[in-house]
Chain A
Amino acid sequence: MEDVPLETHDLTVAYEKRPVLYGVDVRVPEGKLIGIVGPNGAGKSTLIKAIMGIVPTTGGWVKVYGKPFAKNAKRVGYVPQRESVDWDFPVNVMDVVLMGRYGKLGMMGRVKKEDREIAEACLEKVGMLPYAKRQISNLSGGQQQRVFLARALAQESDLYLMDEPFVGVDAATEAAIIELLRELKNRGKTIMVVHHDLPTAQKYFDMLLLLNMRLVAFGPTEEVFTQELLQKTYGGRLTILSEVASTVSREK
């Protein structure tokens, strides 16, 4: 049996002892485009960061293609939030996309011609090749997002985790990105996207992961996108969880 791209069990995360994610269990099937949806502070970004070990977990485990993340990091591509970096940093577009190759290069390897060609192909795919030599601060928000996407493509991974790739992006770029994601999916890749807009979430994704500090539901969009489950995700019934979290952090 082929290993599932991602499996988490009882994944729990706390920032400074304040719980933000409670025991998330998911088994993500292969070749699906999955939206991670939930209100602000629901722990959407935290979930994907915890999967990759960017934030420390306080409990549970993560398996990527049957192994701990560190063993299979090369099979995971990542698009962080655009605001997470300083866009005045002295690098150009090509430099950033080449960073996607660093994981494959190992500790001492140097960037080779082959890596450059892959990076160029990825820039071409997102329509940013003419900008390869641009300094990254001279890009619009949509262009910056496409550069990040190209960097993730350059990782040549099987599972992609994307943190709000549609924020601050114009309509044309959004359409282009979603087209690209579908193409990736058709090539058997698995893509998980943190998304905050409900109407488009229903349109874009095969499966939805509804999250509000705990996993509310995970399944095919048509089964999960129901009044009841959305109410459960966005409605007030779970506020008690966050209240308890605050109490816990006060008591630490």
Chain B
Amino acid sequence: MNRRFGYGTVLSWARANASRWGLVVSFFLVCAFSADAARIGELEDTQFWEQAWRFVSLRDDVVRTALLGAVFLGISCGLLGSFIVVRKLSLFGDTLSHAVLPGVAIGYLVAGQKDPLAIFVGATVAGVLGTVMVNLIKKTTHIKEDSSLGMVLAGFYGVGIVLMNRIQKLPTGTQSGIDKFLFGQAAALSPTEVWMIAGVAIAAVLLVWGFYRQFLLGSFDVGFARALGLPAGVFHYVLMMLLAFTVVVSLQAVGAVLVSAMLVIPAASAYLLTDRMHRMLILASAFGVISGVLGAFFSFLGNSLPTGPLMVLAASTVFTLSFLFSPRHGLVSRWRKHRSREKRIQNENTLKAIYQVREASEFAGEGVKLSDLASRMRESEEETRARVEQLGAIGMCDLKEIEDEWFAFLNPDGWLRACAVVRNHRLWELYLTNQAEYEPDHVHDDAEVIEHVLGEETVRQLERLLDYPAEDPHGKLIPSLADLQRSLTREPREGRSSGYRMPNQ
């Protein structure tokens, strides 16, 4: 059975390459082939390679046509999808792609066969009709847009399914290929259809390239576009027409059910990776092409599995990767940022404790006994030792053994940082009590958080506001910014004395 052959070959191939393609393939496996997991290994590797080679070598016309279709489809879906995503029209795209289905069926019925042009016209008319109905419901009733979109989507789709069933029951129905419009079949693309896909893609590229500014401004701030005297309405309709054409010509390859996914997913992946519109357009098109080609490839390997779901799976894999690894918005990078922040806060707390231990002994002696530090931080000496070693690793502190006792010695960098943290903490406490009228015994917890995030600009402002204070609400000295700077140049201290001193002073 052909279908079983398809699942099996892909699986055995996947196993052979598991290490390299681990993530991507396992995603495919889990999603698409789990049902057939029992049949693993029924078939030979050689058959798989033969089939893959047939695809890669582009020997067959069918492969060439399907591939060309997938590439152009990826481009136009990526471009139009980007605009849909930034304009928050994803649901509209979904409705449009379902609403075209009855048009496909009627086009087929009128032409009496699978005539690309008749189907194109029928689908476009149905799409426009669906859009008009959404607007009509929205304007004349108090039903909101999401509901009217949902109704039109389901209603048109239902009509489409009924009509398609009628066609299947016609004498010529089983050969009609009309069922391919639901889930897509790139291998069934005719040259005419590929030309139509290519035409739409080329038109989309040229228009977006030529009128990029107008599309950009119309999407970002349509009011401003009108105020500039630009024909914002015209460009909106051009974009909507391109969108409708993209949906209609993509039907054969992706299917009505999943066209909107091919519009949204590559664009959303690109949106995670960049924050410039032109880069998003390029990236989304690239992702669209990759997804389209991978979908066509796996469909071919699987002996004409429906292309749509496979393309969408490939696109979802791309999305998952950018969701995890996007440098700015990715899960992994966010987790790492969080980790490094946690670590910095921990280090700063250790520095602060060292300062406080030295302060308790009125800054006599440079080193801080590890046992003193441990009791100050209310933890075991091993834990404290680990903390101090962590500080040592970033060059802020040295650990030395003197007469069987371990001492922590802060380097100048470490000492400056320690003073800065203490200063931030005490300044903030003072600000809360003096200016924000907190009770002195309430302020400590708040300051514990704030001390790590205050920037130098804010600190200067606070100092000015509090008239360069020397003491915090608990009567402790505040090392001032001026003290810190003076210590860097090693000038003698003057005026108000504070607790601040360099390690070697």
Residues of chain A touching chain B, judged by Cβ–Cβ distance below 8 Å, are 49, 52-54, 69-70, 73-74, 76, 78, 80, 84-86, 89-92, 95-96, 99, 102-103, 105, 107-108, 111, 135, 137, 151, 155, 161
Q: Does the CB pair A105–B223 fall under 8 Å?
A: no
Residues of chain A within 8 A of B225, CB atoms compared: 102
Q: Does the CB pair A105–B213 fall under 8 Å?
A: yes
Any chain A CB within 8 A of the CB of B428? no
Q: Does the CB pair A135–B229 fall under 8 Å?
A: no
Interface of A is mostly: mixed
Bound Cα distance from A48 to B230, whole angstroms: 17
Name the CB-closest residue of B to A135. Answer: B275
Q: Does the CB pair A91–B224 fall under 8 Å?
A: no
Q: A86-B88, A91-B275, A108-B210 are in contact. List 16 more A-B contacts (CB 8 A).
A: A54-B226, A54-B227, A70-B229, A73-B229, A78-B223, A80-B221, A85-B221, A89-B277, A90-B86, A90-B276, A90-B279, A95-B277, A99-B221, A105-B213, A107-B214, A151-B224
Any chain A CB within 8 A of the CB of B217? yes
Bound Cα distance from A108 to B389, whole angstroms: 63
Name the CB-closest residue of B to A73. Answer: B229
B residues 368-393 touching A (CB-CB < 8 Å):
none
Residues of chain B within 8 A of A84, CB atoms compared: 221, 223
Given A90-B86, A90-B277, CB of A102 within 8 Å of CB of B217: yes
Any chain A CB within 8 A of the CB of B108? no
Any chain A CB within 8 A of the CB of B271? yes
Bound Cα distance from A86 to B280, whole angstroms: 16
Q: Does the CB pair A91–B220 fall under 8 Å?
A: yes
| Contact among A78, A86, A96, A137 with B227 in the assembled complex (CB-CB below 8 Å) | A78
Q: Does the CB pair B224–A86 fall under 8 Å?
A: no
Residues of chain B within 8 A of A111, CB atoms compared: 213
Residues of chain B within 8 A of A161, CB atoms compared: 227
Bound Cα distance from A96 to B275, whole angstroms: 13
Q: Does the CB pair B227–A85 fall under 8 Å?
A: no
Interface centre among A70, A95, A137 (most CB of B within 10 A): A95
Q: Does the CB pair A90–B224 fall under 8 Å?
A: no
Q: Does the CB pair A80–B280 fall under 8 Å?
A: no
B residues 218-258 touching A (CB-CB < 8 Å):
219-221, 223-230
| Contact among A78, A85, A103, A108 with B220 in the assembled complex (CB-CB below 8 Å) | A85
Q: Could you tell me how many residues of chain B have their Cβ less than 8 Å away from some Cβ of chain A?
A: 26
A54 to chain B, nearest CB (A): 5
B136 to chain A, nearest CB (A): 14
Bound Cα distance from A108 to B212, whole angstroms: 10
Given A86-B88, A99-B217, A102-B213, CB of A91 within 8 Å of CB of B277: yes
Any chain A CB within 8 A of the CB of B274? yes
Given A90-B277, A91-B277, A92-B275, CB of A53 within 8 Å of CB of B226: yes
Q: Does the CB pair B228–A73 fall under 8 Å?
A: yes
Chosen A-B contacts, 19 in total, with CB atoms closer than 8 Å, are A52-B226, A53-B226, A70-B229, A74-B229, A76-B227, A78-B227, A78-B228, A80-B221, A80-B227, A89-B219, A90-B275, A95-B277, A99-B221, A102-B213, A102-B214, A102-B225, A105-B213, A108-B210, A135-B275
Name the CB-closest residue of A to B279. Answer: A90
Residues of chain B within 8 A of A95, CB atoms compared: 216, 276-277
Residues of chain A within 8 A of B224, CB atoms compared: 78, 80, 99, 151
Q: Does the CB pair B227–A91 fall under 8 Å?
A: no
Residues of chain B touching chain A, judged by Cβ–Cβ distance below 8 Å, are 86, 88, 210-211, 213-214, 216-217, 219-221, 223-230, 271, 274-277, 279-280
Residues of chain B within 8 A of A151, CB atoms compared: 224
Residues of chain B within 8 A of A137, CB atoms compared: 275
B419 to chain A, nearest CB (A): 29
Residues of chain B within 8 A of A135, CB atoms compared: 275
Residues of chain B within 8 A of A85, CB atoms compared: 220-221
Q: Does the CB pair B223–A54 fall under 8 Å?
A: yes
Residues of chain A within 8 A of B217, CB atoms compared: 99, 102
Bound Cα distance from A99 to B216, whole angstroms: 9
Interface centre among B226, B271, B276 (most CB of A within 10 A): B226
B142 to chain A, nearest CB (A): 11
Q: Does the CB pair A73–B227 fall under 8 Å?
A: yes
Q: Does the CB pair B210–A90 fall under 8 Å?
A: no
Q: Does the CB pair B228–A103 fall under 8 Å?
A: yes
Residues of chain A within 8 A of B216, CB atoms compared: 91, 95, 99
Bound Cα distance from A91 to B271, whole angstroms: 11
B14 to chain A, nearest CB (A): 35
Bound Cα distance from A137 to B168, whole angstroms: 52
Residues of chain A within 8 A of B280, CB atoms compared: 90
Bound Cα distance from A161 to B277, whole angstroms: 28
Residues of chain A within 8 A of B279, CB atoms compared: 90
Bound Cα distance from A151 to B216, whole angstroms: 15
Name the CB-closest residue of B to A49. Answer: B223
Interface centre among B86, B228, B279 (most CB of A within 10 A): B228
Interface centre among B86, B210, B221, B230 (most CB of A within 10 A): B221
Interface centre among A52, A73, A90 (most CB of B within 10 A): A90
Bound Cα distance from A85 to B213, whole angstroms: 16
B441 to chain A, nearest CB (A): 31
Name the CB-closest residue of B to A138. Answer: B275
Q: Does the CB pair A90–B274 fall under 8 Å?
A: yes
Residues of chain A within 8 A of B86, CB atoms compared: 86, 89-90
Bound Cα distance from A53 to B216, whole angstroms: 20
Residues of chain B within 8 A of A80, CB atoms compared: 221, 223-224, 227
Given A90-B86, A91-B277, CB of A102 within 8 Å of CB of B230: yes
Residues of chain A within 8 A of B223, CB atoms compared: 49, 54, 78, 80, 84
Bound Cα distance from A99 to B279, whole angstroms: 18
B411 to chain A, nearest CB (A): 33
| Contact among B214, B227, B271 with A90 in the assembled complex (CB-CB below 8 Å) | B271
Bound Cα distance from A49 to B224, whole angstroms: 10
Bound Cα distance from A100 to B224, whole angstroms: 9
Bound Cα distance from A49 to B227, whole angstroms: 8
A21 to chain B, nearest CB (A): 17
Bound Cα distance from A151 to B228, whole angstroms: 12
Name the CB-closest residue of B to A76. Answer: B227
Interface centre among A53, A78, A151 (most CB of B within 10 A): A78
